[in-house]
Amino acid sequence: MAGYNIRRIDVGLNAYIRAVSGGTYTPVPSTSVSSRTLNWFGSLRPNLEPLGTYRYPAQNSVDLRVDKAFKVGIHKFMVWMDVGNLFNASTVTSKQVRYPDRTVAGYKVLYDGPLAVRTARQITIGGRWSF
């Protein structure tokens, strides 16, 4: 996190920079092992490879806030703009781990296909009145 306030013009610049290594995942079969075969109460999906064999991409993100303050007598007004995911990074955060495929919401998704992507750039504008 970093911030800087330009006192002469009452403008604040703030940045939040995140760099997170991607988590791991392991492929599993599309069909589960029968509970009768193993004398188990539920179904099992054994790992097809050792745990943590594959890794999601790293998630790098920059969020920015710009604010401006105004004074009018005893009143203080502030407006700001927040920009989440400033550079619009579209990093895959979830993959389909069942081998060879799986149906998700009526669509066939192959193994290692993306299921979720980081949300797109979002801009929020706000204001505050203090007295």
How far apart CA 108 and CA 102 sit, in angstroms, is 6
Residue 66, domain extent: 2-29+46-130
In a domain, 39, yes or no: no
pLDDT band, very low/low/confident/very high, at 41 (cuts 50, 70, 90): low
Nearest to 97 by CA among 83, 81, 113, 108: 113
Q: Specify if 11 maps to a domain.
A: yes
In angstroms, the CA 14 to CA 11 distance is 10
Domain membership flag for residue 38: no
Residue 96 maps to a domain: yes
> Model confidence over 65-117: pLDDT tens digits?
999 999 999 999 999 999 999 999 999 999 999 998 888 889 999 999 999 99
Whether 40 is covered by a domain: the verdict is no
- Residue 89 in domain: yes
Per-residue confidence (pLDDT) for residue 39, from 0 to 100: 60
- The count of structural domains within the chain is 1
Q: Tens digits of per-residue pLDDT, 13-38?
A: 999 999 999 899 999 887 766 556 55
pLDDT at 14: 98
